[in-house]
Every structure is written in C-alpha cells, then in structure tokens.
C-alpha cells in the first residue's frame, strides 16, 4: 500500500501528538496518585528531597497558576477544555511546523492533566515545592511542568525562528549549488 506524503505527515503528527500527550498525562496522573496515597492533604509536613530547595507537599489548588481565580474551578475547567480542543484543532488543521507542533502538544498534555483534576476532584493536585534562591515558589505539579516546557520551547523557537529558517534555506541553496556543480562536471566529461 502506497501512502501519500500528506498521509505520512498526518500519521507522523498523530504519533508525535499521542506520545507527548499520553506521556505527559500519564506522568502527571502517576505522580499525583503517589502523592495522594502517601502524603496528608494540607498538613504542614514536607518531604525533603533536596535540602533548602526541593520538597513534596500535598495541596489542592482551586485556582489557576499562583492560585489566581481561586474557587473558579468550573470557569478554569471551561477555559481548559476550550484551550485543549482549540489547540488540538489548530495542530491538525493548520499544520504548523514541527517546532510549533511539539511545543503546543506539550501545552495540551499539561492542560489535559490539570483539566482531569478540575473535573474529577474539583481542584488541582499540586505537590512540588521549591525554594530557588531562598524564595518560596508557588507549589506546582508535573502537568504544570509540561505547560511551562511547551511555552518555553515555543518562545525560544519564535525568538530564533528567523535564524533557523535562514540556516535551512542556506542548506538548500548549498545543495542546489552542489547539484549544479556535479552537472557541470558531468557535462565536461
């Protein structure tokens, strides 16, 4: 059976998307299950991982990042559904380049993890507590890590996109020049 380039590209995108989303969602669910089964909720007890820097502490967040919009769980769930569905639709209909595709897949993965919590628990399970430079950073989870990694990837790519595209164009020009040179050499013989 012969697959067209368009079908191959679609299948590749489906595989990449599925791997990223399933991996992120699964890691998020597993880590949250471990926390829920092994730590007490809202008890001021931390499990020290790296002294003065990294701890696990089980809390429930009814808001968004930094507890913004606390107690607006259903509003945040609706926004999350719209984001996950909208981004997924965009990824498969507009066919952005691979860098955008991967970054946005990471964001969908994290969004889906926290959406699951909002729907089934009425709040998001957070447990990673850090103290960079002695500052108490807001507690977060694996889904948040996927969202942030996707966002950073997207920002970094956007900052260097023009340079990367020039490099790819230059490679194509060199390839064309090499082909012309080989043609010229072949004609001389």
Tokens of 61: 């967040």
Q: Which contacts qualify for 44-53: CB closer than 8 Å, 24 or more apart?
A: 46/129, 52/131, 52/134, 53/130, 53/131, 53/132
* 184 confidence band (pLDDT: 50, 70, 90): low
Give pLDDT, residue 55. 92
Q: Which of 28, 117, 144, 183 is catalytic?
A: 144
Give pLDDT, residue 43. 63
Over range 108-123, report the average pLDDT. 95
Q: Which tens digit of pLDDT belongs to each residue from 12-69?
A: 999 999 999 999 999 999 999 999 988 877 666 678 899 989 999 899 998 877 777 7
Q: Which of 28, 126, 183, 184 is catalytic?
A: 126
What is the rounded distance in angstroms from the CA atom of residue 150 to the CA atom of residue 104? 6
Give pLDDT, residue 151. 97
98-121 helix and 142-188 helix, angle to the nearest 10 degrees: 160
Percent of the chain with pLDDT over 90: 57
* 72 confidence band (pLDDT: 50, 70, 90): confident
Q: Which tens digit of pLDDT belongs to each residue from 127-172?
A: 999 999 888 888 999 999 999 999 999 999 999 888 777 666 566 5
- Residue 7 or 106, more confident: 106
Give pLDDT, residue 171. 62
Locus of tokens 């997924």? 88
Among this protein's residues, is 126 annotated catalytic?
yes
Give pLDDT, residue 100. 93
Tally DSSP H helices, then E strands, for the chain. Answer: 4, 3
Among this protein's residues, is 144 annotated catalytic?
yes
- Among 58, 61, 52, smallest CA distance to 130 is for 52
Per DSSP, which regions of the chain are E strands? 47-50, 54-61, 124-130
Give pLDDT, residue 21. 97
């Amino acid at each position: 059976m012969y697959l067209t380039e368009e079908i191959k590209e679609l299948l590749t995108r489906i595989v990449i998307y599925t791997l990223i989303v399933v991996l992120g969602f699964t890691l998020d669910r597993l880590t949250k299950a471990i926390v829920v089964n092994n730590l007490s909720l809202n008890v001021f007890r931390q499990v020290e991982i790296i002294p003065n820097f990294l701890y696990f502490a089980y809390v429930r967040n009814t808001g968004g990042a930094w507890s913004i919009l606390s107690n607006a769980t259903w509003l945040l769930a609706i926004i999350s559904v719209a984001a996950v569905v909208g981004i997924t639709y965009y990824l498969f209909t507009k066919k952005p380049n691979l860098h955008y595709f991967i970054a946005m897949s990471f964001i969908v993965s994290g969004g889906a993890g926290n959406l699951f919590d909002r729907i089934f628990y009425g709040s998001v399970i957070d447990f990673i507590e850090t103290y960079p430079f002695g500052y108490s950073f807001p507690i977060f989870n694996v889904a948040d890590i996927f969202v942030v990694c996707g966002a950073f990837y997207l920002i970094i790519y956007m900052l260097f996109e023009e340079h990367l595209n020039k490099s790819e164009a230059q490679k194509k020009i060199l390839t064309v020049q090499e082909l012309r040179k080989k043609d010229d050499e072949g004609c001389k013989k």
